């Protein structure tokens, strides 16, 4: 089983960015934790991060043929990027959306996700652990198919 883990804009700054909201771990440290769980779950993971919408869309397209699912934190694109939503729909793979913060407890513009309706599920508010919860849910879903 092969899962792509995609992170959107500004998540390359984790560890230094708004630590009170997003915690102290860097993206590389979080990716390490995801790799450890992936090994336990006997799946492979590939990581991708970009600050550019088009690159994220191409990374999603590249999941066609070969990938079994997508774990994505679209960051601020969550709230308005219809092209990312359409790309996720187009590849016809199970998708889990992750947010480190509880987007529903923050500013009003974060309360809406245009991505969530095309996802299997959404995890929000558990910090970096959300990536592990999301991976577990995604793998269980794929295994159960
Ligand atoms: C985020 C929440 C978004 O609203 C925000 O723009 C981010 C990170 C999260 O992980 O909590 O960049 O996706």
User: Atom 8, ligand 1: which residue's CA is nearest?
Assistant: 75
Q: What is the mean pLDDT of the chain?
A: 97
Give the atom of ligand 1 at the shortest distance from the alpha carbon of 124.
11
How far is the centre of ligand 1, averaged over its atoms, from the C-alpha of 106 (Å)? 10
**pLDDT for residue 9 is more than 90:** yes
**pLDDT for residue 41 is more than 80:** yes
CA 53, 15, 99, 70 torsion-angle sign: positive
Complete domains list, the chain, with CATH: 2-143 (3.40.50.9100)
Give me the residue label for tokens 């913060």.
Answer: 101
Whole-number pLDDT of residue 50: 98
CA distances from 98 to 79, 120, 135 (A): 13, 11, 10
| pLDDT tens, position by position, 42-75 | 999 999 999 999 999 999 999 999 999 999 999 9
How far is the centre of ligand 1, averaged over its atoms, from the C-alpha of 142 (Å)? 26
Does the pTM of the predicted model rise above 0.85?
Answer: yes
User: Atom 9, ligand 1: which residue's CA is nearest?
Assistant: 99
Residue among 21, 30, 56, 73 to mutate when testing ligand 1 (max atoms within 8 A of CB): 73
Answer whether 75 contacts ligand 1 (Cβ < 6 A). Answer: yes
Among 85, 105, 100, residue whose Cα is nearest residue 131: 100
Interval 124-137 mean pLDDT: 98
Question: What distance in Å separates the CA atoms of residue 37 and residue 105, rounded to the nearest whole number?
Answer: 28
Whole-number pLDDT of residue 145: 74
């Amino acid at each position: 089983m092969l899962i792509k883990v995609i992170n959107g804009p500004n998540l390359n700054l984790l560890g230094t960015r708004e630590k009170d909201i997003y915690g102290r771990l860097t993206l590389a440290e979080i990716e390490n934790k995801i790799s450890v769980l992936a090994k336990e779950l006997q799946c492979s993971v590939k990581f991708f991060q970009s600050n550019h919408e088009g690159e994220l869309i191409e990374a999603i397209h590249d999941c066609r043929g070969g990938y079994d699912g997508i774990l994505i934190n679209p960051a601020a694109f969550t709230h308005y990027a219809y092209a990312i939503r359409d790309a996720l729909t187009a590849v016809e793979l199970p998708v889990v959306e992750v947010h480190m913060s509880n987007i529903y407890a923050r500013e009003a513009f974060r309360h809406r996700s245009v991505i969530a309706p095309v996802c299997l599920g959404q995890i929000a508010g558990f910090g970096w652990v959300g990536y592990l919860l999301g991976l577990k849910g995604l793998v269980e879903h794929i295994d159960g198919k």
